[in-house]
Amino acid sequence: MSESARHRPAPSPLVALVVLILLVWLALSLPLVLGQKTLYFRDIFHSHFPFKAFGAQELAEGRIPAFNPSWALGQAFRGNPNTAAFYPSNLLYLVLPFWSAFNLHYCLHWLLAGIAMYALARGLALGRHAALLAALAYAGSGWMLSVMTFYNILTVVAWWPLAMLGVVRGSSRGVALAAIAMGMALLGGEPVTAGLGLVPALALAVRSHGLRRGLLTVAAAGCGAVLVALPQLVATSRVVGFSFRGAHGILASQANYYSLELKRLLELFLPFPFGTPGSYGPSGLSETAALDHLPFYYSLYPGLIAALLAAAACRKRPLLATTAGLGLFLAWFGGLSSEGLLAISGGFFRSPEKLLFWPALAIPLLAGFGLESALEEKERRGSSLLLVLAAGLVVATVVLGVVGGEALLSLIGGEGRSVAGVGAELEASWLRALLVGGLLLIGAAFALRRRSASALVALEIVALLQLAPLWMTDEVAPFRDPPWLERVEAGTAVVPARMAYPPWRLGGVNPTFPPGPHAPHDRFQALELAPAPGVQHGLRYPLAPDLEGMHHLFYNLLTVRIADASWQERARWFQVLGVGIVVSPEPVDSASLELEGSLSAYEAQSFLYRVLQPAPAVWWPDTVTAASSPADAFARVASSAPGSLPGVIPQPLDHTPGGRVELLVSEPDRIELEVDSAGGLVVVQRSFQPLFRARIDSTAIPTLPANLSLLGVVVPQGRHRVVIEAGWAPEGIAGAVAIIALISLTLLATRKDPSQRK
């Protein structure tokens, strides 16, 4: 051994822990970044994937369009906060393959969340070990792993600790940092979660600077954030008024569905006391029937070590304890009355569980303070208490082994479903959790006796490894080329009937998935040409679900009516909407649908039908009639002659049959037609949106809803070139302002403190 190596200092335990954490992150992230695996669960595939696949294709063409014609005939895109259309991580799609860029957004923001919480903890004067524990309890918690299924909410929660750090600092540099972080959260995230984040940020600002200065600090940061996020805010303001959510708000039946059940407080100390989320078979959360509904966030578990240290710190840190407690209370209380929740929030807020953002921020910080307090104690009361708790877990393990899983299932309010072995699986899960918990408590007791912060952090890592079932990934290969894709041309409009929302009245056999992870469910949907991965292959989904309330008013009525219609009426609407392919779980008897093939998977059959004589992208109607109501419009189209091209509009119009229409340009925000007619109506296969303006040369011509939800254009007699477009100037100006603001704030946040200058 060389002399220099002999005297080289050994790495500190803290450095070793950081390296270990980064290696775990890298091991989990690398297959995703290389495009071998993908996250898929819940909103990842059902919502975010289709939007990002479309957005990536458009960005490659140099566009951030107002509307997405691949979804719901043209749902708002850049004005939809759920799409993160202006967020900087979109640049990844220009330099990386889609699967790599898509998953890298999740991985990088997961890492950012931990780094940001570490920085906030240090800014609150916590030591390095305590700050690392806080970062682990935040980024590695069950709550955060649940957030990893939301592309947009993850963006908010990753940046928010930096926003809180900025307001705690309170200087001009701090305000700039907070403005950047809040702005990025708004630019790429879900506005309700960002709004909720203002409460803990304001609490820390007032505690640090007093009421007046604290309010001014947060207000200044908020103003800067608005400038950074201005393109998204402007785009949303232009379309939200004509959306279902903007006009009607949230339905009472939806508002409080995701509310906290008080029994779930067990999750603060046990990772999965009610079953494993996202799994089929006897171990699955849905099979125990212990909860009234599937949660919005699948686990609250911050790690047993962090939970106990946070509990110990509550008395000395009342502000953080109140923040955590208030969030838990309101997440439950908000579920008591959907009407009350709508009244308080003005009809815009749903899912009271979103208030769990507050305890998710506060508990890690409490854990950090609890760690430092525990290590400072001269007496050994803490370690003795941990040993008592460990003994209690041993007793609980023995009792559970005696009474059995069925008694446990009854105790937690579950009755189990038809799957055999639910009680036994739940018992085994609890026994594992109690055993691991007991060992962790014994280890923590000895770590406290030795005053070893590194050992406590290491035990927290072990505690969080129990959350591995929430890291749900699957191979990318099954989603690259679904079997039926070769039969369907790019640009085809597809209706996967089994995945319709509102749910259609369908027969057929439901698939049976093997016990274990949720992946087979999403593979099966890919077989049936679901939007993930269909949009990536150029397929369109004219009857797509309205997941955020951003579909326009008449379109929502269309989806509800079709859900209740007969197959004959549906088939007629498929023709009018230009649908080319329908995938059904049951055989369909309709002269307008031709069977192309079938497949069997997971004990279920799927049937591929080609729609005969679908309407073209634009047409001159054979007849134009006025409907007395939207319901009348639906019925008129549904009863129109198969193969005909109807035009049903809200008011009478002089229309001469026999006009000729040619589509010259078809882009998301610009459509050009050549029309030769004696005057009347042109119907365009796009959702009617007021943002679309039509003109001939520089003269504006009227637009109106046609066939309930399509875009109609009133064209005068003669031969004309008609241009229909959605302008981008307001977003362009807002984008220039945002870039200037972001550069200015970055320079301000990174400038040297005058006191440090020489």
Q: Averaged over 280-307, what is the pLDDT?
A: 92
Q: Report the greatest alpha carbon distance in the chain.
A: 97
Give the number of other Cβ atoms within 10 Å of residue 28's Cβ: 15
Least Cα distance to 54 among 66, 74, 43, 70 occurs for 70
pLDDT bucket at 609, cuts 50 / 70 / 90 = very high
What are 589's two structure tokens? 């008897």
Q: Which residues of 458-487 are buried (b: 16+ CB within 10 A; e: fewer)?
A: bbbbebbebbebbebbbebebbeebebbee
**What's at 290, amino acid-wise?**
A
* Distance of alpha carbon 163 from alpha carbon 160, whole angstroms: 5
Question: Of 128-142, 387-401, 577-591, 641-655, where does mean pLDDT reach its minimum?
Answer: 387-401
Q: What is the DSSP letter of 276?
A: B
User: Rg (Cα) of the chain, in Å, rounded?
Assistant: 29
Ordered DSSP codes for 90-141: GGHHHHS-HHHHHHHHHHHHHHHHHHHHHHHHHHTT--HHHHHHHHHHHHTS
Question: Of 39-43, 56-60, 401-405, 594-598, where does mean pLDDT reach its minimum?
Answer: 401-405
Asked whether residue 401 carries a pLDDT value surpassing 90, the answer given is no
Q: Which residues of 253-265 are buried (b: 16+ CB within 10 A; e: fewer)?
A: eebbbbbbbeebe
pLDDT bucket at 344, cuts 50 / 70 / 90 = confident
Rounded to two decimals, the pTM is 0.94
**Burial of residue 119, with CB atoms counted within 10 A of its CB: 0-12 exposed, 13-18 middle, 19 or more buried:** middle
pLDDT bucket at 437, cuts 50 / 70 / 90 = very high
Q: What angle do CA 143, 145, 151 make, to 5 degrees?
A: 105
Q: What is the DSSP letter of 12?
A: P
C-beta of residue 208 within 8 angstroms of C-beta of residue 722: no
pLDDT tens for 259-270 read 999 999 999 999
Straight-line distance from the first to the last Cα atom of the chain, in angstroms, rounded to the nearest whole number: 44
C-beta of residue 141 within 8 angstroms of C-beta of residue 360: yes
* Distance of alpha carbon 546 from alpha carbon 244, whole angstroms: 9
pLDDT bucket at 9, cuts 50 / 70 / 90 = low
Reduced 3-state DSSP string for 159-208: HHHHHHHHHHHCCHHHHHHHHHHHHHHHHHCCHHHHHHHHHHHHHHHHHH
Question: Of 254-263, 519-528, 645-654, where does mean pLDDT reach its minimum?
Answer: 254-263
Coil, helix or strand at residue 273: coil
Coil, helix or strand at residue 239: helix
For residue 502, is the peptide bond before it cis, meaning its omega torsion is within 30 degrees of 0? yes
pLDDT tens for 186-215 read 999 889 999 999 999 999 999 999 999 999
State the pairing for strand pair 473-475/699-701: unpaired
What are 357's two structure tokens? 């953002």
Question: 528 vs 3, which has greater pLDDT?
Answer: 528
pLDDT of residue 2: 47
Q: What is the DSSP letter of 44?
A: I
